[in-house]
Amino acid sequence: MAKPYIHGVSRADQSRLVEQARALAERLNCRNLPTQVLPILSSRREPRRRGILLDYLRELLLSGSENMIRNGMVDERQRAGLVEAFDRVKQDPATQFQYDAVRLVCQAPEGGETELD
């Protein structure tokens, strides 16, 4: 059986995600839009940290599952499959991964009101 492999996004995908985040902030009339790519690495040398990061990613991915199930985007079987896959990966000491987060810091417009169309 092939081992699950979690990997970071390509530099081109990172750039696309940064631009999407900037576009959203600009639609909200926000300003001062610096971005920072935050690579989060996991390795066998730090199993406790690897477990914490995997738990974080699992919760992040599951955080929208109830809404997605309610809207017919996924079903409970798919959600359970994700939980099982993360449990398997977490138990495998050979699992290594990289998670690339993009931090966008912006300042709300004067008055603090923002609205999306």
pLDDT in tens, the chain (117 residues): 343 333 455 677 777 877 887 888 888 888 767 777 777 777 777 888 888 888 888 898 899 899 989 999 999 999 999 999 999 988 888 887 777 777 777 777 776 555 444
**63: its two tokens:** 């955080």
What is the C-alpha to C-alpha distance for residues 55 and 62, in angstroms, rounded to an integer?
A: 10
List of E strands, the chain? 35-42, 97-104
What angle is formed at CA 65 by the lines to CA 97 and CA 79, rounded to 5 degrees? Answer: 70
Residue 9 has what pLDDT? 57
Q: What local confidence, expressed as pLDDT, does residue 84 receive?
A: 94
Is 0.85 topped by the overall pTM? no
